[in-house]
Amino acid sequence: MKGYIFDLDGVIVDTAKFHFLAWKKTARYFGFDLTEALNEKLKGVSRVDSLKKILDWAGTTISEDEFEKLATEKNEDYLQYVNKMTSKDVLPGVYEFIEKLKKEGCPVALGSASKNAPKILKKTGLYDMFDAIVDGNSVTKAKPDPEVFLIAARKIGVKPEHCIVFEDSEAGIEAANVAGMTSIGIGDKRVLIDADQVFSNFIEIKEKFINQLH
């Protein structure tokens, strides 16, 4: 039996755009514009590592206290968007896709870098669909380290080589590949070049393809 591991932001829900808006504000504070191309490097990356990258791009350093303050402010901005979320914010085809896997008895896990994952899953009504939830609260190493996916695989009792990961970020695809799992990119083929296969969304994934994976 194959195991299915889903990233959260940008795969299950469109929160990637909320992270982008909140980090754009942080970048503005340091006097530069966070472009979409630069933002690709933040996708899948933990809150702390994202802020470190922004400081690097700004060519500056700050005290630990200010670092803490900026990370907290970014999260507060981000949560203002998240707090308005409902089940309508689940990306097209995702609910049906996971439901089908569950009906077939396939183990399903979440593998996300976000500390806000439980809150988002509860707000969108998806929390109970997962057999295991591994998120930013339970990992020590951020993607592209494979830790999050390896823990998820262990929790659902499936060998890494039998796991299929759905990811929208370069860091996440790398993490899945390093873990020895099948990596399915959700997004742009030109960006997710290392993924085993890329689809623009879950509606595009046909039953035939899933049956081949099983």
Give the annotated binding-site residues for Mg(2+).
7, 9, 167-168
Concatenated DSSP letters of 13-24:
BSTHHHHHHHHH
For residue 4, the SS3 value is strand
Would you say 44 or 107 has its CB closer to ligand BG6? 44
Cα(42)–Cα(49) distance, integer angstroms: 8
Out of 3, 4, 7, 191, point to the residue binding Mg ion (CB under 5 A): 7
Establish whether 194 is a catalytic residue.
Answer: no
Return the residue of 4, 5, 47, 139 that touches ligand BG6, per CB under 6 A: 47
Segment 154-173, which members bind ligand BG6 (CB under 6 A)?
169
From the annotation, which residues make up the binding site for substrate?
7-9, 23, 42-47, 50, 74, 112-116, 143
Size of the site for Mg ion (CB under 5 A): 6
By CB under 6 A, name the one of 4, 6, 24, 50 that touches ligand BG6. 50
Between 114 and 124, CB nearer to ligand BG6: 114
> Residue 46: how many CA atoms within 13 Å on its side-chain side?
18
Site for Mg ion in 158-187 (CB under 5 A): 168-169
- Which part of the chain contacts Mg ion (CB under 5 A), choosing from 41-49, 61-69, 82-90, 201-209? 41-49
Name the nearest CA neighbour of 67 among 58, 35, 168: 58
Integer Cα distance of 100 and 108 in angstroms? 11
Q: What would the two tokens of residue 69 be? A: 């303050």
Tokens encoding 167 = 């990811």
Please give the helix or strand (H or E) that residue 166 lies within, else none.
Answer: strand 163-167
7 as an active site residue: the answer is yes
- Candidates 7, 33, 65, 194; catalytic one: 7
Cβ pair 158, 2 in contact under 8 A = yes
CB of 142 closer than 8 Å to CB of 172: no
Annotated binding-site positions? 7-9, 23, 42-47, 50, 74, 112-116, 143, 167-168
Residue 112 identity = S
Q: Which of positions 64-123 make contact with ligand BG6 (CB under 6 A)?
A: 75, 112-116
CB of 208 to ligand BG6, least distance (A): 29
The token pair at 159 is: 């060998």
Q: Which residues are catalytically annotated?
A: 7, 9
| Chain residues in the site for ligand BG6 (CB under 6 A) | 8-9, 19, 42-47, 50, 75, 112-116, 136, 169
